[in-house]
Amino acid sequence: MTQKISNEPLPEGAQRIIGRDAMRLNIAIAYAIAQIVKTTLGPKGMDKMLVSDLGDIIITNDGATILEEMNVEHPTAKLMVEIAKTQDKEVGDGTTTSVVIAGNLLKAAGQLLDRGIHPTTIVRGFEMAEAKSHELLKEIAEKVSLDDEETLVKIASVSMGSKGIGSEEEKKSIAKLIVKAVQKVVQKKGNKLVVDLDLVKLEKKEGGEVKDTKLVEGVVIDKEVVHAGMPKRVENAKIALIDSPLEIEKTETDAKIEITSPDQLEAFLRKEEEMLKNMVEKIKKAGANVVFVQKGIDEMAQHYLAKAGILAVRRVKKSDMEKLSRATGARIASSLEDLSSSDLGEAGLVEERKVAGEAMVFVEKCKDPKSVTIFIRGGTEHVVNEVERAIKDSLGSVASALEDGYYVTGGGSTEMELSLKLREYAKTIGGREQLAVEAFAEALESIPTTLAENAGMDAIDTLVELRSKHGSKEGKFYGVDVINGKISNMKELGVLEPAKVKRQAIASATETSRLILRIDDIISAKGTSKNDNSPGGELD
C-alpha cells in the first residue's frame, strides 16, 4: 500500500496517510477483525485459544471476550473492539453478530468508494437503511411476557447455543435455571419490567459436571464459618447483617495507658472481654442465630458466639451483604446499638458445605428472594469460565427480551427478511444513496452466509435458497438450521432471539461504520529520540 507522507510541519518520524489510502487501510483492518471472529458465530462456530504474555490461556467463542483479550494495537481495530463492548454492556449478547455486520458494511462501503461514490453519501445511505431496519424490526417482532416461560427458555437456550458447554439437554436445564433466576429478580415499574442482573450472583467452582450447575434461591458465600465450635447447619435461620466489626476498635488518636500493677492489667482485659460479651448478648437478644459481618470478628467474640450456638461468617464483601439483604429481607445494621428483631432476615437453611475441598456457606430456601445465585460447576477451570460467559450472555438475552417485550426468529432469518425488505426500499430512493442501502442489505446477508459456512454448508446455495423462501408469503421465518445442515422454519424449531439484541447490533455496526468512513487522515506521531520532550504519543 502506498503511503502519502506530506511535507507538513509534523514531528520528525511522524507519518501521515491521507485520503482514500487512509480509508482503504481502515476498512481493511476492520474487515480483518470481523474475519477473525466470524468463525465463532452460531452453534457450529469454532473456539479461539487466546494466550496472554504471561501464558494465561482462555478458550472461548464469545466475541467480546476474544476482542478484549486480543490486545489489538491499531486504533481502527480498537474501534471494532468498542462495538463488542457496547453490545455486551447494553444487551449482553450478539457481540459477534455486530462485529461481523460492521466488517461487511465497511467492505461494501470500500467497493462503493472504488466506484467514485463520496463517503458522506454512503454514510447517509447507511443511516437511512438503519432507520428503515428499526422500523421493519418492529413489524416482524412478536410479543413476549414474563409468564411465557416456554418462549423465554427458548431465547435462553439459543443464546447459549454457540457456546460449547455441554449437550443440548444440559443447555436446556441451564436455560430453565436462567429464566427462573430472572423471574425472581425482575421488578415492575409502571407498565415496564426492569431486570437488575447484579442481583443474580454467579458463583463458580471447578469440579463436578456442567449438569451439576444449580439455582440457589438465596446467596452462596465463598467463606467459611469462623469458629470450629459453631453449628455448621442452621434451619429456620434468623439472620443479622452487621456492617461494623465485632472487635474492640483501637483509638485513632495517640493515647497512653499506664498500667502499674497486674490487677490493673487484669481489670483492663476483663473490661475488654465484657465489651465483647455485651456485643454478642445484643445479637442474641435480637434473636439472631446466624450473623454475617462485613468486617472482622475478635477471637473472644467468636468464642462467645459459638457458646451461644450462633453461626458467624466474617469479612463478607459489601456486594454480598447487599445480595443477602435482598434475598433474606434483613436490614444491614451499621452498629449493634440499634439491632432489633425487626432488622433480621429469614432463610430456610444456612449451611457450610465442602465444595471441591473448600468450605462455602449456602443461604437458601428464602421465602421470596429478590436476589438469587447460580452456582456453576464444570470439569476444569476453562470449562467453568466458559459456562459463566455463556450464562452471562443468556441472562442478558432473557433480560433484554423482558425489558423490551419483543422477540424475533434467529438462524439468520431476521437478517434475511430485513435484507429483502431493504432491497425493495432501495428502489423507492432516488440518487446514489440507493446503492448504499443495497450495500447495507448485502452486509446483513453475511449473518446467514457465515452460519452456513460454519456449519459446513454451501454458502451460495444456502443464500439462493433463503432468498427464494423469503420472497414467498410464509417465508419470513426461514433461516439456517445449522444442526441438520438445511433451510428450516426457525419459529417451528424454537430458534428465538430478543429483538433488542438485533436492534442494538445493527445500531452499533452502523455507528462504527459511520465513524470509520468519515476518517480521511491518519497522523501517526512517533517520538524521535529519548531527549525529545515534545508531548507526542504513538497512535497506531
Catalytic residue numbers read 62, 95-96, 393
Q: From 413, 388, 494, 491, select the one nearest 137 (Cα to Cα).
A: 413
Q: Cα(217)–Cα(201) distance, rounded to whole angstroms?
A: 11
Identify whether the C-beta of residue 343 lies closer than 8 Å to the C-beta of residue 286.
yes
DSSP per residue over 29-87, as a string?
HHHHHHHHHHTT-STTPPPEEEE-TT--EEEE--HHHHHHHT---SHHHHHHHHHHHHH
Any residues with CB less than 8 A from the CB of 280 and at least 6 apart, and which?
246, 301, 304, 305, 308, 310
Q: How far apart are CA 304 and CA 523, in angstroms?
A: 69
Report angle CA 241, 243, 247 to the nearest 5 degrees. Answer: 105
Residue 157 buriedness (CB in 10 A; 0-12 / 13-18 / 19+) = buried
Q: Which set of grid coordinates corresponds to residue 398?
A: 432473557
Question: At 364, is the secondary structure helix, strand, or coil?
Answer: strand
Strand partners, 330: none
Buried b (16+ CB within 10 A) or exposed e, 178-212: bbbbbbbbbeeeeeebebebebbbbbbbbebebee
* Residue 41 near residue 505 (C-beta atoms within 8 A): no
Any idea what DSSP says for residue 343?
G
CB atoms within 10 A of CB 536: 17
**How far apart, in whole angstroms, are the C-alpha atoms of residue 363 and residue 237?**
9
Distance from the Cα of residue 127 to its chain's centroid:
28
Contact 265, 272 (CB under 8 A): no
CA distance 233 to 252: 38
